[in-house]
Structure 1
Amino acid sequence: MKKTLITGGVFGLLSLGVHAQSSVTLYGLLDVGMVFVNNSVSNGQGHQLYSLISGNIQASRWGLRGSEDLGGGMKAIFVLENGFSVVNGKLGQGGDEFGRQAYVGLSTTRFGAITLGRQYDSVVDFTNVLTAATQWATIYFAHPGDLDNMLNSNRVNNAVKYTSISYGGFKFGGLYSLGGVAGQFNRNQIWSVGAGYNVGPLQLGAGYFNVKDPNFSFFGNNATSSATGSNMSGSPVYSGYASAKTQEVFAAGAAYTIGSAAVGMTYSNTQFKDIGAIAGLPANGAGGAAKFNNVEVNFRYQVTPALLVGAGYDYTKGYGVNHAKYHQAGLGADYFLSKRTDVYITGVYQHASGIDSTNKPAVASITTLSPSSTSNQIVAVVGIRHKF
């Protein structure tokens, strides 16, 4: 159960003169599992790998969420959320103290909320929940390299964000990130818009974001990021395009529930434009644009109130200056021991072909794992998740 602290006495001592009702909620989750990878590159060779990894279905985290009633349907709100590894206690998100989220703002019952800080983009807000990776399939079923950010690998710093209230199940929102570079208004600029609809058995979502200088503004906005080198070396799916001036993503998805079953589908188009615009960074296909179409179909079935099973397939095709293809399939099951604790098992297979962003034969590269030395890679995970 979430621990809600009604700040009558304690907050009264800390902030004399504030009489409105306030609350702070401590929340979080711990997720860890045993992971097997059939082929993981080490010293140029592919080897089997057995490891303990934190954050498989969801990243481990703890956070504080608070509000103060200002009257007239208005509240002051804030969120501070820290990511960490259960395995070794290290901070996540490149060493940021509150790298998952950190924002403050105002919300109203009539118009929605405006918040300022480190936040999620609109693709995450409106399409993230429609992917299998965020439901049961673990992060390893994310679209290759999470190149469309539908898994929420990257957050947005310096962001001003608006989120509407629900109008009969319809919501919309947008975000703008100030670049913060004197005399260069568009430098490191990020903006996004999106909308969603959720009524009865039908759920829809769509989002778009546009990122200037993505190597620094999007992939490189953490404490340990490089101010001059590549911050996009995590996956050969896109690492050759770190010098791109712009990254654009459009994503949409739908899910429909029929009794105990649910079927879903997502589509995304990702483009790294004007490759070579930032000197000194990888520039395969300089002068052109690397583009990717991605389609995912997923299915889940609630066998019993405690047991969920799922299956999914994902296909990514590069075009423009990119000529790689990735096929991915996953199976999984999630068993709830209680409302707060569940155990899960998932397997994911990926096959790559063509030429990838490094101008080499594409190798399988399941998201967050070291690439394979071949065109194929398999991962299996058994884990436990506990929420508080």
Structure 2
Amino acid sequence: MVHCQLRAVLAASGASFAQSSVTLYGIADVYLGNTKLTGHDGVSTTTNSLGSGGVSTDRWGFKGSEDLGGGLKANFLLEQGFNIDTGAAKGTGNNAAGLPVAGAQGFARQSYVGFSGGFGEVKLGKMWTAFDDVNGATDAVFDSALSPMYYVFTSTNYNANPGNSVYYTTPTFSGFSGTVSYGLGENKTAAQNAGSNAAFNVQYTGGPVYVALGYQSEKDNGNVSSRDFTRVNASYDLGVVKLMGNLGRTKANDKSTNEWQLGVDYPVGSALTLSASYAASKGGVLTTFAPTAAGTADVKRTGFGIGASYSLSKRTSLYGGYMAAKEEANANFVGTADAETKLFAVGLRHAF
């Protein structure tokens, strides 16, 4: 009797599995880079190295869906990052300041299950926030390690994929769509991030025009400390060139930093694209989210990047370029020299 029941269960499971689809996917992205770092003390260090994820973070994962009928689907995704230059797993988590740090997680990038249908999509678990969905949408130089935005902006240092989260995105209505996400902040120990993570975005796509607004608010250390991030993105595709720009703002407790970036993509034929970007920021928020000292001047940062990407196929491309960013010296730092980062890089990206 027990064996009959077991066979019935297995048969039912097999019938369900036959209606499902599961996909193994990933990205392998490696680059050879020459990096020169100069501190506020004027001391410079130059390093030649292989880097992981110049354009896209290296990853592998499983995703799948099951048609439940009536337009309703059950979906899941399990995704892990890794460093292709060493083979080491790449984890993310939160330290006491709420910032992403390395961690020993089985699927550190995403792990969720949910539903989708005419109402949109719901995800439950660990996934990218609604703010992260628009973070790099109009970032020129391929939203890569060669983009000055990641060296100049403070609003790129948010918690991108908190765990214990709920995520909902709407269908698209006449080009408009919206997304909200909320991380519950369940861990209440003093050493961990115990605060919430709330974010939303509103996007519009119509012909050559794209516009997006994103916002994220984070609290930690028993909700004593808080940070808020705002981003406005826009792009216009003229065909011969694509113009891109974004405005950012970070607020950490009583200080804020304002940021802007302008960029352009120039397609040279069907395979080659050239791209350039300039970014600047000014304000009282340091990269660690600590506010500047009382009475000190705002921190000023500027940077530019140029790059090229050549598609060998739909899944494989070569890229390369140069980026230089500067943080001006003032009373907030030890030393009187401007801190600088300069990067030359050439890389290979393959998606599977």
Matched pairs, number? 319
Match of 1:156 among 159, 162, 173: 162
In structure 2, C-alpha distance between the alignment counterparts of 1:37 and 1:380, rounded to whole Å: 7
Q: Which amino acid aligns with 2:333?
A: K
CA RMSD of superposed structures (Å): 2.8
Q: Which amino acid aligns with 1:96?
A: Q
Is 1:376 equivalent to 2:349 in the alignment? no
Is 1:99 equivalent to 2:108 in the alignment? yes
Q: CA deviation at 1:270?
A: 0.4
| Aligned partners of 1:137 and 1:310 also within 8 Å | no
In structure 2, the residue matched to 1:306 is 271
Q: Which amino acid aligns with 1:131?
A: D
- Which structure has the larger Rg over C-alpha atoms? 2
| Aligned partners of 1:158 and 1:178 also within 8 Å | yes
In structure 1, the residue matched to 2:217 is 210
In structure 2, the residue matched to 1:64 is 62
Unaligned stretches of 5+ residues in structure 1: 1-11, 218-243, 274-288, 364-372
Q: Which amino acid aligns with 2:314?
A: K
Q: What secondary structure sits across from 1:123 in the alignment?
A: helix
In structure 2, the residue matched to 1:76 is 74
Q: What secondary structure sits across from 1:188 in the alignment?
A: coil
| Aligned partners of 2:219 and 2:227 also within 8 Å | yes
Q: CA deviation at 1:216?
A: 9.5
In structure 2, the residue matched to 1:292 is 257
Is 1:178 equivalent to 2:184 in the alignment? yes
In structure 2, C-alpha distance between the alignment counterparts of 1:174 and 1:259, rounded to whole Å: 32
Q: CA deviation at 1:179?
A: 1.9
Deviations 1:42-69 (A, max 9, x none): x995221101001011111111111011
* Ranges of 4+ aligned residues in structure 1 off by more than 6 Å: none
| Aligned partners of 1:126 and 1:195 also within 8 Å | no
In structure 2, C-alpha distance between the alignment counterparts of 1:46 and 1:153, rounded to whole Å: 30
Match of 1:259 among 221, 239, 248: 239
| Aligned partners of 2:152 and 2:279 also within 8 Å | no
In structure 2, the residue matched to 1:280 is none
In structure 1, C-alpha distance between the alignment counterparts of 2:71 and 2:187, rounded to whole Å: 37
In structure 2, the residue matched to 1:268 is 248
**Is 312-321 or 52-61 further displaced after alignment?**
312-321
TM-score, length basis structure 1: 0.75
Q: What secondary structure sits across from 1:332 in the alignment?
A: strand
Match of 2:24 among 26, 48, 61: 26
Q: Percent identity?
A: 30
In structure 1, the residue matched to 2:300 is 325
In structure 1, the residue matched to 2:228 is 248
Residues 183 and 305 (structure 1), Cα distance of their counterparts in 2 relative to 1, 3 Å cut: closer
Deviations 1:62-112 (A, max 9, x none): 11111011111111011111100110001113232211111111111x210
In structure 2, the residue matched to 1:282 is none
Q: What secondary structure sits across from 2:136 in the alignment?
A: helix
Q: What secondary structure sits across from 2:348 in the alignment?
A: strand
| Aligned partners of 1:144 and 1:316 also within 8 Å | no
In structure 2, C-alpha distance between the alignment counterparts of 1:324 and 1:14, rounded to whole Å: 63
| Aligned partners of 1:136 and 1:332 also within 8 Å | no
In structure 1, the residue matched to 2:333 is 360
In structure 2, the residue matched to 1:241 is none
Q: Which amino acid aligns with 2:115?
A: L
In structure 1, C-alpha distance between the alignment counterparts of 2:262 and 2:196, rounded to whole Å: 32
Deviations 1:296-320 (A, max 9, x none): 0000110110000011000010137
Residues 45 and 65 (structure 1), Cα distance of their counterparts in 2 relative to 1, 3 Å cut: same
TM-score, length basis structure 2: 0.83
Q: CA deviation at 1:139?
A: 5.4
| Aligned partners of 2:33 and 2:344 also within 8 Å | yes
Q: What secondary structure sits across from 2:115 in the alignment?
A: strand
| Aligned partners of 1:58 and 1:139 also within 8 Å | no
